[in-house]
Amino acid sequence: MEYIHKTLSFFRGKEPGDKECFLAKLPIDVFLDNILVYLDTEELIRIRRVNKFFLQVTEHPSLWKGLLRRTRFKLPPVPPTSRYSIEEMSGLEAERLLTRAISLDKTWGQPLPEPLETWKAHTYYHINSMFLVPGGRYLVASVRDASEAHMIAVYVLDHPYRALPIATMPTKAKAYHLQAKYLNIPDAPTQYEYDHPEDVTWKPKTIPSLVISYLCSRPKSSKDGQTLFHEYNAGYDMDIDVPIVHECHCMHVSLDHLEILGHHAIDPGSQEFKSAALRQGAPFRQLIYMRSKSNFGPTNLSEVYGVPYFVVTKLPNTIVFRQLVPRTGSVELRCLPLVDRHHSIMTIRMLPDQHQILVVRRIGSNSGTEDQPITVFELYDIPINLSGDTVVEERTPVHVDGTPSLLVDAQIPEPDIPLRDDLSYRKDHSLGMYHGGPLNAYCRQIEPNAMFRVSFKPLPGDREPRDPIRGRLPLRTRYSPSEVEEHEAIGADEGTSGHFLAGSRRSLLFYTSVDDIGLCPKVIYLDLYSVPGQLRTPPEMHHSSPSDLQKRRPMLDLYNRIAAMAWDETIGRLCMVEEDHMVLHVLEYARAPRIDPEGRRYPLCLPLLPKPEVLDACAAIPDDIVEVKEEETEVDVDIDRRQPYRVTVQLSRGPRDDTEERTLVGSGLGLSVGEVIFDSRTPDGQRDTPLSLTMYEADV
């Protein structure tokens, strides 16, 4: 390996035409199968900086797919479809997964981590709240338009247009408590299932979907709706003097539908985009609708032994379980009430591996006594057989453990665990890397104002013999409220109040003034947080000297109040929207390649040779970047080809003799001389024949 490094470093800056660069004369297969296959991600990034030959070789899809197949550390999740299997994904997508995972780990290991990149995009709507689907492909948002009409919008990210809304659905009121998760949803029952209900071996067809749940509250009478303004947020206790109806919705949209509309080759707003949307039909399909006079609380989407579940709390002490399967009912589980003490569910988290649900309840002090309020962590068994009728059960917890405190917020982030029928690249990876870590609960309390973390110890145990995944993962992980591994207090500066955007391994803290109690607070500063010892870097990710994966960009400076924030710990992406602004601000703590509207890597790769059909036309075109002089003469200079530049092309229109000059602008490693010219067309559809080309260093 050291010999390869020394050999390749000798050719830095040499082009394939140089006599000394004899390695460039070797067949590409020799590089891919016998040399580059021994390098890791960071070494490949450094190799491609030697010259254009190695740049092009290191972009070969088989190189990155092979590296992805050999990876033994956690990578960001992707939609669980065959489209993202190793066989079907592109080399650029495989490279994006690897570079994101490694650059995020490098950034997080710095003493003062800063974002590597910041960017922004127009949202087209005012965003009330939003949720980043793990993996960074989609953003789900509760939005409103200029007419104050509310809706749910799904944005596709990692797109040439940065962020693009590709599916919307109107709602009757502002949506809150947004949740989204990739799940496999069983299709509607077929005629065979109706005719043969006794056939338990029949496996229904499933639809890989993005499942979205949300809550909304609205006046019972439409006349009273005029008394409520759009700042009303039913997620908080607010004094409303009109009857309110609380609704819970759960729906799904096919991932195939989203992939078609979010494809980079379809220009948004074009006739092709509209035709594709019409062919797909309405994107959203309703799964669950519930209505209640009581306020709904936290929700949870999960998969339990391959069955998709939706759980919602009905305050103060009821948990409703629903399977997202046709012809099933629901179970309402009522937590054990406490006499003369107010109690309310604060958060829930499904634990599929042990078939239980972890519940955090806040129990107030007994009136007229000196009892202190406490927070209780409880375990309840998940109901399995959900018939067609609604069943009400009152249960005592399997286990309970409490701590004295008055909580105002609690979050238990969900660990990233692949679905049972995941068809993406993760089906080829070991499930052991996704299981076995501690379960973290993040809490915020008042009197005194503080934050703390509770980590529950993982308890491994044998999996049942009939469990279908016993062969891939023989052990399962259990958690118990009594088995606390660590309890840590997290301080805040005087006069500030801390808040969590919690992740199972990486979290983000933001601080506001203790006097700022509005719905859109002013964020004073941000801080990154991870549990010491839980981010153990595997040997494959032991980093060497700094590389291009770690170039930093300036921090965003937002002067207005923040209306919505979302955090994705799997790729280190933070999204923020300012109050009364339609701009999405994004902070990236990981680095990944981008694509242009034609699906090519951005910055573009300079090809070694044009395509055969344009060799003759481009033979006389210089490939050099020249400096702009007053007379616009061509002078060879040695500048960084990754800098922006301007290109002036003199063109001939078809068989006619008249000429014109056209200016093209590129950036990065970016202009394929022959392809760019031949891809352009005249208004009458004829080809443009290049006569001369001059490349200038741009003044941008």
User: Would you call 2 helix, strand, or coil by DSSP?
Assistant: helix
CA–CA dist 149, 162 (Å, integer): 25
Instruction: Please indicate, yes or no, whether residues 499 and 384 belong to a single structural domain of this protein.
Output: yes
Residues 98 and 199 in one domain: no
Judge if 488 and 404 occupy the same domain: yes
pTM (two decimals)? 0.80
Range of the domain at 77: 2-108
Q: Using an 8 Å Cβ cutoff, are 11 and 25 in contact? A: no
Q: Specify the pairing of strand 390-395 against strand 330-335.
A: parallel
Domain assignment of residue 310, yes or no = yes
pLDDT at res. 479: 92
At 404 the pLDDT is 61
Of 55, 249, 287, nearest to 142 (Cα)?
Answer: 249
Is there a domain that residue 569 lies in? yes
Q: Does residue 545 form part of some domain?
A: no
Phi, psi of 26 (to 5 degrees): -70, 150
Cis amide linkage into residue 603, ω under 30° from 0:
yes
Stretches in the chain below the pLDDT threshold 50: 15-19, 191-192, 194, 200, 229-231, 544-555, 605-700
Q: Cβ(39)–Cβ(30) under 8 Å?
A: no
Contact criterion met (CB below 8 Å) for 308 and 185: yes
625: which strand partners? 695
- For residue 159, list its beta bridge partners: 162
- Whole-angstrom distance, CA of residue 462 vs CA of residue 460: 7
Dist CA 650 CA 577 (whole Å):
45
Q: Are strands 407-411 and 439-445 parallel, antiparallel or unpaired?
A: antiparallel
The reply to whether 218 and 242 lie within a common domain is yes
Report the greatest alpha carbon distance in the chain: 99
Pairing of strands 162-170, 150-159: antiparallel
240 inside domain = yes
* Confidence (pLDDT) at 531: 81
DSSP codes, 45-91: HHHTTS-HHHHHHTT-HHHHHHHHHH--S------SSGGGSTTTS-H
| Half-sphere exposure in the Cβ direction for 647 (13 Å, CA) | 24
- Helices and strands in the chain: count of H runs, count of E runs: 11, 36
pLDDT value of residue 580: 87
Q: How does DSSP assign 550-608, residue by residue?
A: G---PPP---S-EEEEEEETTTTEEEEEETT--EEEEEESS---EE-TTS-EESPPPPS
Phi, psi of 350 (to 5 degrees): -70, 140
The sign of the CA dihedral 217, 222, 228, 230 is: positive
Verify that 125 and 92 share a domain, yes or no: no
Please provide the distance, in angstroms rounded to a whole number, between the alpha carbons at the two ends of the chain. 41
In order of 456, 613, 614, 646, 652, the CA distances from 687 in angstroms are: 67, 13, 12, 22, 9
* Cα separation, 190 vs 208, whole angstroms: 18
| DSSP run (H or E) holding 107 | helix 91-108
Q: Are residues 148 and 221 in the same domain?
A: yes
Given 56, 82, 108, which residue is the final one in a domain? 108
Residue ending a domain, among 108, 135, 152, is: 108
Residue 10 is assigned to a structural domain of this protein: yes
Domain membership flag for residue 546: no
* Under 8 Å between Cβ of 155 and 166: yes
- Whether residue 79 is contained in a domain is answered as yes
Any bridge partners for residue 126, and if so which?
144
Question: What DSSP assignment string belongs to 224-246?
Answer: GGGGS-TT--TTS-----S-EEE
Distances (CA, A) of 426 to 74, 139, 162: 9, 22, 26
Alpha-carbon span 667 to 674, nearest angstrom = 17
| 216 and 103 together in one domain | no
Residues 197 and 304 occupy one common structural domain: yes
Mark whether 645 and 505 lie in a shared domain.
no
Residue 548 maps to a domain = no
Q: How many domains does the chain have?
A: 3
Contact in structure between 433 and 397 (CB atoms under 8 Å): no
What would the DSSP string read from start to end of 262-330? Answer: T-TTSPTTSHHHHHHHHHH---EEEEEEEEESSPEEEEEEEEETTEEEEEEEETTTEEEEEESSTT--E
Residues 262, 207, single domain; the answer is yes
Considering Cα of 27, then 33, then 39, then 41, what sign does the dihedral take? positive
- Which of 76, 108, 140 is the endpoint of a domain? 108
For position 281, which CATH number holds?
Answer: 2.130.10.10
Residue 11 shares a structural domain with residue 100: yes
Do 213 and 352 reside in the same domain of the chain?
Answer: yes
